[in-house]
Structure formats: structure tokens, C-alpha cells
Amino acid sequence: VLTWPRHEAPIQMVENRPVRDFLAHAVLITGVLLVAFPLWVTFVASTLTFDQIVSVPMPLWPGDQFVHNYTQVLTSGSEKGSSAPVGTMLVNSLIMALSIAIGKITISILSAFAIVYFRFPGRSFFFWSVFVTLMLPVEVRIIPTFKVAADLGILDSHVGLAMPLIASATATFLFRQFFMTIPDELAEAARIDGAGPVRFFIDVVLPLSKTHIAALFVILFIYGWNQYLWPLLITTSESMYTVVIGIKRMMAGGDAANEWHLIMATAMMALMPPALVVILMQKWFVKGLVETEK
């Protein structure tokens, strides 16, 4: 039997494949360039004048209108399209995205906790009833949802933007699956120590779920921020526009009628909040998706 000396590690053979490494890096760099180039063109266009954008070829280096263009859309919108300040639209989008993300997580984690740790008749029926709603997205139930919102008098309001989108069967399912992996010994130990359901939820379940909450928050924030159909239907006043709706409203007509430098500046500002959320919470997001240790 061939054995290694006690204090010597086996020699690992590392195969040098420069051609394969070069091809791999070339593919990665090409992919980055393909993704980054449209963003770069958008940013450059947001720093130019209208005449510079429509000129052929359009400059591919930033101009000197950065402060002017961004200040104008933040404070007064556009002249030919929507005149609502983009700053107000960003606030509306932020309120909507945060309300949807926090509301979905709160309702889902509580409902999943009740389904897993409480014994009551019809527990499985209620869970699968919630799960079946995955087959009914907003687009399918948009008309009855609008009717209910109109009857409640929440059209053109922040409540109307967020409340109909708060329920989430996906988040409930994910939290349920995670809670089922928590050892039953933890619940028994908490019960022996005299902790009730609320104390067990706050002291044990929530700390164990923080990475999953962070990962879901990133996904749900982007979901809420990018909503288009529901805000388009429920908002009629410019003061309640979200930034995604604002970009469309700023397009007044044909290419010659659109203030592309202002539209591109708005698009860049609409891109920044979700990008910052992903960057700042990247560690928690990845950990919540790939973590296997329970």
C-alpha cells in the first residue's frame, strides 16, 4: 500500500492550459463589454445636449451637460413630456418598493411560521391554497384588483401602489421550507425554558432567517421597483408617477419630439437604487441563496 509520509503533503499536479485560460477570460471580457456598452451609451447620452445626441455619429465620450440635465429632470421634469419632477417619482418608487419588500417578507414569514409550528385543522389546505395563487399573477387578476382598490378609495395613493402587491406565495413557500429544516429540539428547548411562540419566533427563528430575509429583500425590492402595469393603471396624477412610468410619460412622440438627453438621465437615476441595493447587500444575498448550513 502506497502511503504518504506523516509530515509531507502529496504533490498536486497543476496542469497549465494557457489557451483555455485565454479563451475563458476572452469570453468573460466580451460578456462584460456587451452588458456594459449600452449602459455607457445611456450615461454618455445623459451628459449631452439634444443636438449632440441626434448627430451622426453620436459622441461616445461624456459631455459637459451632466449637472444641467440631471438638475433639470430632478426638479422640473421635461418640457415636451411629463413635467413631474423625477425626484418625486424616485420617492414614489422608493416608497412602493420598500413597502412591497417589507410587507411581503413580514406577511410571508409570519404565515410560514404559523403553518410550520402551529397545529390547526386545515393547515395543509390553507398552505396549498396560498401556493396555488402562484398561477394567478397580477396581470391575470388586474381588473378585479383595480375594482377593489377603487371601492376602497386608494387609487392615486401610496397605499394603492403597494398594498395589492404585498401578498407573496413564493416567499411563504421559501420560508416554510427553511423553517422545516430547523431542528425540533430548538422548539422543545424553548418550550422547556418557558418561552412562548412569540419569544421563540423573535429569539430563535428570526436570527436564523436573517440571510434568507436579506436575499428575499433584494429580489422583492427590485420586483417592486420595476413594476409597470399596476402603477400605470392605478395612477392618473403626475405627482403619483413612479420613475418607471415617468420614463414612458417623458416620451412625447416620435424620435425628434423626445428630449432624449433628459430621458437618458432619468433612466440612469432609475437604475441606481436597485443597483445600489444589489451591491450593498451582495454578500447577504449570495449567502442567503447558497447557504446550506442550517
* Res 126: pLDDT: 81
Take residue 92 and report the three cell numbers written for it. Answer: 414614489
Segment 42-67, tens digit of pLDDT: 999 989 888 888 888 888 888 888 89
Q: Which residues contact 154 (CB under 8 A, 6 or more apart)?
A: 160, 163
Q: Tell me, what amino acid is at 93?
A: S
- Give 4's pLDDT tier (boundaries 50, 70, 90): very low
Distances from the Cα of 259 to the Cα of 68, 254, 294, angstroms: 13, 10, 53
Take residue 47 and report the three cell numbers written for it. Answer: 451628459
Take residue 91 and report the three cell numbers written for it. Answer: 420617492
Segment 167-221, tens digit of pLDDT: 878 888 888 888 888 888 888 888 888 888 888 888 888 888 888 898 889 999 9
Using the CB atoms, write b or e for 50-85: b if 16+ within 10 Å.
bebbeeeeeeeeebebeeebbebbbeebbeebbebb
Segment 216-234, tens digit of pLDDT: 899 999 999 999 888 988 9
Give CA angle at 80 (95, 249), nearest 5°: 35
Take residue 123 and report the three cell numbers written for it. Answer: 393547515
E strand or H helix at 145, and its extent? helix 142-152
- Give 106's pLDDT tier (boundaries 50, 70, 90): very high
- The 8-class DSSP code of residue 203 comes to I
Contact (Cβ atoms closer than 8 angstroms) between residue 96 and residue 227: yes
How many Å apart are CA 227 and CA 241, to the nearest integer?
Answer: 11
pTM score of the predicted model = 0.83
How many Å apart are CA 259 and CA 43, to the nearest integer?
Answer: 15
Average pLDDT for the chain? 84
Contact (Cβ atoms closer than 8 angstroms) between residue 63 and residue 52: yes
